[in-house]
Structure 1
């Protein structure tokens, strides 16, 4: 119990705070402590920021687990329409508040079809969305920390201010996607297609790319990163 109390304390919250409050506190602290906001030549501060980010991320993940375990387990997952085949590619996104992507027991969403889905401010951290279709989806301010989007289709998706820390985007289709304000620190974009993607204004890049892997990726201007 003392550990749980400490996690709330790390996020500056009262014990029993809601998941929404936990996520908001995490967003605020992640913004404050992100290394990109600090001088690059101050190794001491950078190391402290990285450690702080790890601490608040761990606290958030632990509190999320507590929230999940405290919820009644009698609910059954949302199923497909009876007339539709029971395959991942025929999944139809319905009410965002009851979507598969939000539920903790839907960790593996490989091949899911979420075209045009409203996933704004949702938490998809750690989900497996390999080869998922998220074209035209609204993922603005969404948490996608360590999500697996390998070979996923994100054509024209809105990833405005999305948190993609350490995400797997290998060979993903990111054509014409909006990445303004997104955090791709530590993400793997090997051979991803970013042609036409929105990444800044004029010559100013407005995407966080600290430690991002871009090997073989097609950049917004059509060039290929070595």
Structure 2
């Protein structure tokens, strides 16, 4: 009996370790979706696909690895937010505040970035393939 339990535990342990984990705080995800206010929240790894976050306060939030595919972030405050490795493909970022935000390794494929504020933000290795950038001072490539 003990041998069977030990064997079962040994076989199941790699499966538990291999399971993906989400770091986001479910209560904070719900808070964001309900109130549009989540400054400083931990939303890392959160699935916010097609979320309507118009004018949301996400300043200082941790959105690393979050899925914001097709999210509407028009007028959202993402100042100082960590968006490292986030998926913002086809996201709408008109008038968004991205000052001092980290977008390193973020996927912004086919996103629309119009008249966004980006002073002090970091875009190392961000994927901007097919992204429409209008009235936003983002430099691409070179020194």
- TM-score range for the pair, normalised by the shorter chain length: 0.7 to 0.9
- How many residue pairs match? The answer is 121
Tell me the equivalent position of 1:195. 124
* Long gaps (5+) in structure 1: 1-89, 201-205
Distance 1:195 1:91, change over 3 A: closer
Matches within 5 A, 1:16-165: 92-93=25-26, 99-103=30-34, 106-165=35-94
Runs of 4+ in structure 1 deviating by more than 3 angstroms, as ranges, are 219-223
- Contact persistence 2:51–2:71 (CA under 8 A): yes
Tell me the equivalent position of 1:13. none
Taking only aligned residues, the RMSD between alpha carbons, in angstroms, comes to: 2.1
State the alpha-carbon separation in 1 of the partners of residues 104 and 126 from structure 2.
6
- TM-score (norm: length of structure 2): 0.77
Q: CA deviation at 1:191?
A: 1.5
- TM-score (norm: length of structure 1): 0.50
Tell me the equivalent position of 1:208. 132
State the alpha-carbon separation in 2 of the partners of residues 155 and 164 from structure 1.
16
State the alpha-carbon separation in 2 of the partners of residues 107 and 151 from structure 1.
17
- Contact persistence 2:91–2:111 (CA under 8 A): yes
State the alpha-carbon separation in 1 of the partners of residues 108 and 56 from structure 2.
20
Tell me the equivalent position of 2:15. none
Q: CA deviation at 1:93?
A: 2.1
Higher relative contact order structure (alpha carbons within 8 Å, sequence separation ≥ 6): 2
Three-state SS of the structure 2 residue aligned to 1:209 is strand
Given the alignment of the two structures, is residue 176 of structure 1 paired with residue 109 of structure 2, yes or no? no
Alpha-carbon displacement from aligned partner over 1:155-208 (angstroms, at most 9, x marks no partner): 0000000000110000100000001110111111112100100012xxxxx111
State the alpha-carbon separation in 1 of the partners of residues 55 and 137 from structure 2.
19
